[in-house]
Amino acid sequence: MSPNKTARIAGLLYLILGICAGVSWAYTESIYVPSDALTTVDNIQSSEWLFRLNFVGNLVGQIAFLFLIFFLYKLFKPVNKDCARLMAILVIVSIPIAILNSLNLLAPILLLSGGYLSAFGATQFNALIMLFLDLYIYGVFIAGIFWGLWLLPLGYLVFKSGFIPKTIGVFLIIAGFGYVINSLLRFLMPGYNMEISSYTFIGELMIIFWLLFKGVNVQQSDVKNE
């Protein structure tokens, strides 16, 4: 497979991952009302199909992530094999965390449709659903630490590759630190709700569209492979 074809497949998979992750987070935030269990439960019940679709979208995104790291490893292994391995390891660690965390997203639907209400009072039942959503949100930030960490070796590989602009590598490293800092602050500072990563993720958009539409400089890539 040519480097350009590898790059474009990686770009497509990264785009799928980005859409799934972005839409899922936006949807979850739209129905989740902190400290208001009744409204949150009503939002889930009024859009149960979308809630289930959100769960499936999470799984699709993680499957795309798994294939993405295969193609990125193939593309960047000639640049620095150890760094490419580190990148792959960090992704492989993050995927099971994200998939298992998705079960917290499915739990409210199972509770609402499984006849569990009779075992709890309405207040306790709603609080239990909120607990699962809270666990899901914090689970996203745990996975977000690894999401940020894997961008650091990716950014370095891009910077050193010679077949993708160094600027994109720099912005990927900035994005990586943004995710890590944002996640850690969520745990260290209760009530913190500023999304640093919302301002630093531009590097990911840059690499997605570069891989999709520009591919790689084949001559430079061939030199690296030699």
**pLDDT tops 50 at residue 226:** no
What is the tens place of the pLDDT at every residue in 126-178? 888 889 998 998 899 899 899 999 999 999 999 998 889 999 999 999 999 99
Helix (H, G, I), strand (E, B) or coil at 45: helix
Q: What is the pLDDT of residue 221?
A: 54
pLDDT value at position 116?
A: 64
Question: Does the pLDDT of residue 51 top 80, yes or no?
Answer: yes
Q: What gap in Å lies between CA 89 and CA 48, rounded to an integer? A: 35
Stretch 4-15: mean pLDDT, rounded? 93
Q: How far apart are the first and last CA of the chain?
A: 16
On the question of pLDDT at 19 being above 50, the answer is yes
Residues 203, 173 contacting (CB under 8 angstroms) = yes
Quick one: pLDDT band at residue 109, thresholds 50, 70, 90?
Answer: confident
In the chain, % helix, strand, coil (3-state, to 5) comes to 85, 0, 15
Mean pLDDT computed over 35-55:
86
The pLDDT value recorded for residue 223 is: 44
- Summarised one tens digit per residue, pLDDT across range 91-106 is 999 999 999 999 998 8
Q: Classify residue 194 as left (phi > 0), alpha (psi -120 to 50) or beta.
A: beta
Both tokens assigned to 76: 């960047």
Label residue 220 by pLDDT band (50, 70, 90): low
Residue 123: half-sphere exposure toward Cβ, Cα within 13 Å: 0
Reported pTM: 0.87
Q: Residue 10 in contact with residue 209, Cβ under 8 Å? A: no
Round to whole Å and give the CA distance between 8 and 19. 16
Task: Please state, in angstroms and rounded to a whole number, the distance separating the CA atoms of residues 213 and 226.
Answer: 25
Q: Which helix (H) or strand (E) holds 116?
A: none
* CA dihedral over 38, 136, 63, 212, signed as positive or negative: positive
Highest average pLDDT, of 3-17, 32-46, 183-197, comes from: 3-17
Task: Say if residues 155 and 172 touch (Cβ distance below 8 Å).
Answer: yes
Amino acid 119: pLDDT: 66
Range ranked top by mean pLDDT from 80-94, 96-110, 199-213: 80-94
